[in-house]
């Protein structure tokens, strides 16, 4: 269960300022902003653009390229379920369908109570214990529908 800070422009400026020294700082900055706020509110891009001396389009463009970056708040628990071939070979798709049906969401969706977001990922490097998932960063292997739902809604 992850809790995030409420959006504050000053806080965003502080996070960005702390990482300006790095070469190619955009990705570390975006990661840090999302770690703080849970997602990237669109107000963040003008601030980031100014600090990095790039256009807003470049700032937003970098963020929008990558699957990881969210533009709306996630649920309090994020379950990343692997859909790669190794997990497919071990029944991962059926387990994932069970989870999605039980939660009443589609891929990328958040339950109406804001508790759980289910994301599709393509390989967690846990292929030797397929099917696999990452629940708030903690790995889950040899998963099935029941263990996924137990991890998503403990």
Query: Does 73 interact with another protein (rule: CB under 8 A)?
Result: no
* Count of residues that interact with another protein, criterion CB under 8 A: 45
Is 113 among the residues that bind another protein (CB under 8 A)?
Answer: no
**Which DSSP helix (H) or strand (E) runs through 47?**
helix 44-52
Does residue 19 bind another protein (CB under 8 A)?
no
Q: Is 127 in the site for another protein (CB under 8 A)?
A: yes
Which member of 15, 81, 118, 124 binds another protein (CB under 8 A)? 124
Asked if residue 49 binds another protein (CB under 8 A), the reply is no
85 is a site residue for another protein (CB under 8 A): yes
Interhelix angle for 26-37 vs 56-65, to 10°? 70
Can residue 106 be called a binding residue for another protein (CB under 8 A)?
A: no
109 touches another protein (CB under 8 A) = no
Nearest alpha-carbon partner for 57 in 13, 16, 11, 26? 26
Assess 32 for contact with another protein (CB under 8 A).
no
**Contact assessment for residue 140 and residue 147, using Cβ atoms and an 8 Å cutoff:** yes
d(CA 143, CA 130): 7
**Of residues 8 and 66, the one with the C-beta less far from another protein:** 66
Minimum distance, C-beta of residue 84 to another protein, in the bound complex (Å) = 3
**Which whole-number Å values give the CA distances from 149 to 5, 21, 28, 67, 100, in the listed order?**
27, 43, 32, 23, 9
Q: Which residues would be at the binding site for another protein (CB under 8 A)?
A: 22-28, 30-31, 52, 58, 61-62, 65-69, 80, 82, 84-90, 121-130, 132, 134, 137-142
């Amino acid at each position: 269960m992850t809790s995030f800070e409420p959006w504050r422009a000053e806080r965003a400026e502080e996070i960005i300022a702390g990482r300006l020294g790095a070469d190619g700082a955009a990705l570390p900055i975006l990661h840090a902003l999302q770690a703080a706020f849970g997602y990237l509110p669109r107000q963040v891009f003008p601030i980031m653009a100014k600090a990095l001396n790039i256009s807003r389009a470049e700032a937003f463009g970098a963020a929008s390229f990558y699957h990881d970056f969210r533009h709306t708040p996630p649920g309090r628990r994020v379950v990343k379920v692997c859909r790669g071939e190794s997990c497919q070979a071990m029944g991962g798709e059926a387990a994932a369908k069970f989870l999605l049906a039980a939660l009443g969401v589609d891929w990328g969706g958040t339950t109406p109570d804001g508790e759980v977001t289910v994301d599709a990922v393509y390989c967690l490097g846990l292929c030797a214990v397929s099917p696999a998932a990452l629940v708030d960063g903690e790995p889950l292997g040899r998963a099935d529908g029941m263990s996924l739902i137990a991890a998503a809604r403990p």
